[in-house]
Structure 1
Amino acid sequence: MNLFRLLRNNADAQELPSIQSAPVTEPEERHVSQADHSDPVFVRGQGSWMWDAQGRVYLDFMQAGAANSLGHSPAVLLQALNAQAQTLISPGPGHSHRSGLELARRLCLSTRSDQAWFFSSANQACEGAIELARKWGEVHRGGAGGVITASLGMHASAAANQVPFNDLGALHAAVDAQTVAIMLEPIQSQAGVIPATHEYLQGVEKLCRELGILLILDETQTGIGRCGSLLCEVTYGVRADIVVLGQGLGGGVPLAAVLARGTACCIEAGAFPGAADGNALMIAAGLSVLHSVQEPQFLHQVRDCGEHMREGLTRLAQRFRLGEVHGQGLLWGLSLEQDRAAQVVAAAQSEGLLIDAPQPDCLRFSPALTVSQANVDEMLQLLARALSRVKAAQLKARHGLLA
């Protein structure tokens, strides 16, 4: 297992090869009957759309839980994977390769970090971040190893001490002599897309600095452009000591990362169990995604399209008397007045729209970062039909009870 330690004053990067469109071929259809499987069997995806084995098309505003950052089968990702597969797929653990060194260098430069390690999943990366913090505690805090989390839906270890989110007082009270780090998501995606307030997150950073402990931000859902900037921490004006990135970095390919800054860089090469730096294929995917997200105007378009979606969801919430719209960029939650999220998700699928429900009273929207405003408008139309379906079913059930 390799550790990529890269200081920002390294030599300039070589330019990536030019990217051209690659043809998309339709995979062979699986013969699965509706009796065998009640859910759609998907056979093809392109951009914001997917097709099932019956030929039905769906507008995908889930994108594998925000992992497909560039949408389904983007040409830039296909070409990067094809080119890398023809040269080197995996040199094996303990061996460096050019793509891995390049991605680590670019990540460190673009996020002002000093070290980068790669993993195969967000869970592994979060565990790696905790392990890194505890190693820092051995070096700088006399062996202390306590990690406090303020999240209901993050990937962090169950062994970490959890406190209520957006409650700085509770967080401060939980810190003791054994605490080495505070770890949280800037936006609690699985808990219902609940953002941290600016006052809270800035207060957490200030608390960490005053107490001499580390701040870890779990950006597995919010990083790599999802919130309109490369990292969500930028939108809050804070700077973490350790940042966790998830599968959005690989555009859906299994790839996650841990970034470290300053004194948090305390594990040497070969001493980070669980790191998976040997797979050149998944690293090539990360390079293509990072290159795309950093193209001129890309993040500006994410912010514009995100604002367009927020405004549209707000109008629907008012029309159907729903709850609040909350989130950032292209990660939004819509609260419902009742625990009807599962019914709305099912109705939306019947209309050809894929969304999910992280909580019984909340819908979540995480489209491709390349989604268009026209796609957003179509999503809003399909969602309105789904909400009307659910409302009609409720009225019918109510009338049935009164009859």
Structure 2
Amino acid sequence: MLNSVSDLHEYIDKSQLTRELGGTLEYGHSQWIHHRTAIENFAMTVKTTAQMLQTFGTDLAETELPNDVQCTEELLSSHTEQHYKLKDELKLAVKQGATLLTCIREPITRSATSKLSPDELENVATVERLLAQLDETERAFDQFWSKHHLKLEQCLQLRHFEQDFREVKLMLDNLMETQAGFTDIGDSVSRVESLLKERKQLEEKGQEPLEKAQSLAVHGDQLIQNNHYAVDSIRPKCVELRRICDDFANETKKQYDILGKSLELHKQLDKASQWCESGIYLLASQAVDKCQTQEGAETALCDIERFLETAKDHQLLNAKEFCNQFDMILTPEIKNNSQRVLQKLEDVQEMFDKRQVSLKKLAAKQTRPVQPVAPHPESSPKRASPKSIRPVTLAANRRSVEMSSPPKFVSDAELSKKKNVKKTKSGIKIARK
């Protein structure tokens, strides 16, 4: 027990005592109660805010990602809205702590010589600790939200990518199905040209889905480069899109090559048929009587040789070369048609060969000179009997036939007959006495 206030000063420094106890400590009880009440309220606010953030973080961590675009958008919007509300709560709590700290430090802000009491200093430290705790909680929440928000955004990107992939894949499947239906290679020049136009139209029609597929694959590559969490799901889809595009391009090139070969084939067949018809007309137009003379035979032979030279201009192939060049597109129907044309070409060539042989014989035949015959010394023309004159006349006639008659000319009807047709020849027999 102390007898007086002065005895109290022996145990407690005056700076720690209020004026009522003879000290120098500035103390207002009502102010102290106000500060302590505000600090307790602020501490409760910090605790409540931290609990709200923790609860929200737990809910986010346990949320399952949706499987469609709409639900993902709704979830992202909902979580973003809740995040903004919690951020507003954090801002209010920080503002509350800053205001309380300003109120506690008010004496030293009014006067530079003023000092805070130990209680005020303790209150300042308590508020600063609570603000630091609040700041740490906010940073942890922001980090968590940043990861969660990125995951939601990537989920939305993935759902959009998957939706676009399904749409583009359907378009590509329809395109590939249509392309697979192009199996006809044509049976004539006009039909092949029509097929080429249809093939060109399909190629133009496929440009839009192909461009979308390529663009979507590039977008998928960008998602992968940005460290998307669903890399294992995105990469196979990009590979599949590019594979389908390559398959379409390769098949397109293959079909163009086949149709190009088919067009060339039918053009050559048409040229060969036209050449054969022209050749037959040429052979038929060569008059037999005009070819009996050496000059006429040489003229006809030159016409044939000039016409045969046109076979090189038309690049007409033989059967072996034809099969080697067009083997990849020789269907049974086209093969039969080709064989007919090639056989016709071979027959016409044979007709020309036979006509050339005949014309060369006519052109090479020369007229024999007439040799004078001396009269028989024992006989006189006046006394010559009919019996002696007749054999001479027949012999002369025989020599005249042999000299004037050209080799037998093969007619156009005989040229068209098959090979190995036997011809009968009749000779002239002279009887002598």
Structure ranking higher in strand proportion: 1
> TM-score higher than 0.5 here?
no
What TM-score do you get using the length of structure 1 for normalisation? 0.19
Work out which of the two has the higher radius of gyration on C-alpha atoms and give 1 or 2: 2
Structure ranking higher in helix proportion: 2
Structure showing greater relative contact order (alpha-carbon pairs closer than 8 Å, 6 or more residues apart): 1
What TM-score do you get using the length of structure 2 for normalisation? 0.18
